[in-house]
Amino acid sequence: MSYTLKKKAILRDRTAIRVLFEKGTWKSCPFFHMVYSPNAGENCYLFATRKTIRGAVRRNRCRRVLKEVVRLNQDTIPLGYNYGFIATVVPEKGATPEIEKYLKKMVVQIT
């Protein structure tokens, strides 16, 4: 399994993003919200943060941590969906294993 997150795997199409948020299924955990909807091709990911997280540096760190967790766990995420990950809190240093645990728990609920 390649651990790279390809550029084409990032969801950028406005209409696809709108459909994802309007018709997608939502799951939540203490660190992030996940929304997913079926698509015809490969998985596409959207990483975002809430503006309630103060400061651009902190919001960017949240996005980076989420992106890294998804990148390392791509093989466990079911194919054929668009996914949106919205960070809700700033993770503490060393909280990545805990975030991975929540991601895996949410992914099991999809299948």
Determine how β-strand 81-87 pairs with β-strand 25-28. unpaired
Cα 58 to Cα 103: distance, rounded to the nearest angstrom:
21
DSSP assigned state of 51: T
Smallest CA-to-CA distance from 110 within 70, 79, 75, 86 is with: 79
User: What is the count of structural domains for the chain?
Assistant: 1
Under-50 pLDDT residues of the chain: none
Q: Tell me, what's the pLDDT at 15?
A: 92
Q: Tell me which residue range forms the domain holding 98.
A: 29-110
Whichever domain contains 97, its CATH number is 3.30.230.10
Q: Name the pTM for this structure.
A: 0.90
How many residues are present in the chain?
111
Closest C-alpha among 90, 26, 80 to residue 57: 90
